[in-house]
A and B are shown apart, each in its own frame.
Chain A
Amino acid sequence: MTPLEYAVVGLVLVGLFFSFVAVVGIIRLPDLYTRAHATSKSDTLGTVLSLGGVALLFGAEVSGVKTVLLLLFMLITNPTAAHAIARAAHDQGIEPWTKSDEEGE
């Protein structure tokens, strides 16, 4: 394997790790807002790293540039989407989970 391939595999693996963390977070965290943390952060980084690996593999050609564009749009739209969902919940008056909720149960 060339160093480039190592880098690509490394990026994709780290990306996979963060995507995995996002999934675990969605399952484990207690409410919508905290779950939005998992999706907006871990998922964004996971996708961006994997796409970064793909872009490296393509190199400096059209597909590579397109992948970088895709990556940038993910970076912009993912937190926006998380914000939209959280905001909708906030508008609906959904109360965020707090430490005291856990103790109450």
Chain B
Amino acid sequence: MSESSARILVPVGESSTFRNTVAYAVREARRVASETGEEATVHFVYPVRWQLVDEREQSVAEEVAETLDKARVWATDDLDYDDDGELASEDVPVSIETAVIGEDRYLFSPGDFATVLLDYAADRELDRIIVDPEYRPGGSAPMLQPLELELARSDLLVEEAPVERVVERSRLPSRANVSKAVTMFAGSFTFYLLLAGVFDTFNLVTGAVSAGIVTAVFSRITFVNTPDASRFVVRTVRFLLYVPYLLWEILKANLSVAYIILHPDLPIEPEMQRFRAAIWGDLSVTTLANSITLTPGTLTVDMERDSLVIHSLTQSSRDGLEEGALERAVRFVFYGRSAARLPSPAERGAISSLPTTDDTEEDA
């Protein structure tokens, strides 16, 4: 790597590979500095999401300070010792800086995160960014990949720290608690009795045992967040409003697909498109993806972080997608009426056609 630099910016947050990323960044700074004689510096910055600062100001501020402290302590540790644990020569000093950034802005999209990071880098004349592969600036919302793309648009050197990643599955179970267990138990017990259909002692006992086992094994996996009764009710009511609309759309979809399939000329013009949905969270994206698959001439092929790859059968189905009625409906179900008023995908420019390799070959 001839283009490496010893002036490094590392966005940090709690993650399983945080420790190793710090180690890597410091090691790189020292290695490059000893080769080129540059003045080595590593800045650890914590971009703060405005939602967090708003809601739980005190505890979040402490958490942020703690994270940055950890980075500083680890980095200083690493500077004193090399890989073998022996005291390394002190002739290449690496200065360590930590900072909280983005407090005065609303950080929401990957673009926002990239902007504050790049501004900071420009201010301090840092020209290399090392990203923790498990870095999750958006909390549970997947954001790392779009963030890296945004960062890569600048002329800075952007890379993921080549650290060993823990298998993703180990992170899945969330912490167990009573309300999760109760919800899970009630749900599976009801389902069991519904299938049994007879409420005698035998079914009640076997049902309770089965529901107990299911709860013990799965309650930590099924719910990531603690179930919230009022939110659940609100969403269920909104969902019940959504279902008739969805059914109507499904019926229309089927009539149009039936027409196309039975038409002697088979009038189709399939195309792949990428659609950046303004929807966040696992359940809502799943709902949208499934709804898209069920409705007029569109099929969700792939999901890459926040964007859906959609295969559409005809031009009219693409027009429907651009109007974004379905997306709006799903937003209504999960976030309420105000969220339904966001601009349509066409207005946001959220849809782009996905080039096939045929096209790229023609371009080349």
Contacts and interface: CB of A to CB of B under 8 A. Distances in A.
Interface in B238-264: 250-251, 253-254, 257-258, 261-262
Nearest to B261: A25
Nearest to A89: B301
A76 to B, nearest CB: 7
A36 interface: yes
A91 to B, nearest CB: 7
A40 B294 contact: yes
B302 A79 contact: no
B269 interface: yes
Nearest to B287: A76
Given A28-B266, A41-B250, A90-B309, A98 B299 contact: no
B294 A44 contact: yes
Given A42-B257, A45-B254, A62-B197, A100 B358 contact: yes
Contacts of B147: none
A99 B297 CA distance: 16
Contacts, number: 112
B127 interface: no
A82 interface: yes
Interface in A45-100: 45, 62-63, 65-66, 69, 75-76, 79-80, 82-83, 86-87, 89-91, 93, 95-100
B268 interface: yes
Contacts of B357: 93, 95
Contact of A87 (B262, B271, B272, B302): B302
A95 B356 contact: yes
Contact of B254 (A42, A62, A91, A98): A42
B293 A98 contact: no
Interface string B266-296: 1011111000000000000000011001100
B356 A37 contact: no
Contact of A29 (B195, B266, B290): B266
Given A25-B257, A34-B270, A76-B290, A87 B194 contact: no
Nearest to B251: A45
Between A34, A38, A99, the greatest number of chain B beta carbons within 10 A of the residue's beta carbon is seen for A34
A96 B299 contact: no
B32 interface: no
B300 interface: yes
B262 A21 contact: yes
Contact of B358 (A42, A76, A98): A98
Nearest to B195: A66
Contacts of A62: 194, 197-198
A96 B272 contact: yes
Nearest to A76: B290
Contacts of A24: 261-262
B220 interface: no
Nearest to B269: A99
Contacts of B250: 41, 44-45
A39 to B, nearest CB: 10
Given A33-B270, A45-B251, A96-B311, A91 B261 contact: no
Contacts of A37: 257, 297, 299, 311, 313
A82 B293 contact: yes
B313 A34 contact: yes
Given A28-B266, A40-B293, A98-B270, A33 B358 contact: no
Interface in B287-339: 289-290, 293-294, 297, 299-302, 309, 311, 313
B290 A83 contact: yes
A55 to B, nearest CB: 14
A65 B294 contact: no
Nearest to B300: A83
Given A37-B311, A38-B261, 11 more contacts: A21-B257, A21-B258, A24-B261, A28-B266, A29-B261, A36-B299, A38-B257, A41-B293, A42-B261, A45-B250, A98-B358
Interface of B: 194-195, 197-198, 250-251, 253-254, 257-258, 261-262, 266, 268-272, 289-290, 293-294, 297, 299-302, 309, 311, 313, 356-358
Instruction: Identify the 3 closest CB pairs spanning chains A and B, nearest first.
Output: A62-B197, A79-B293, A25-B261
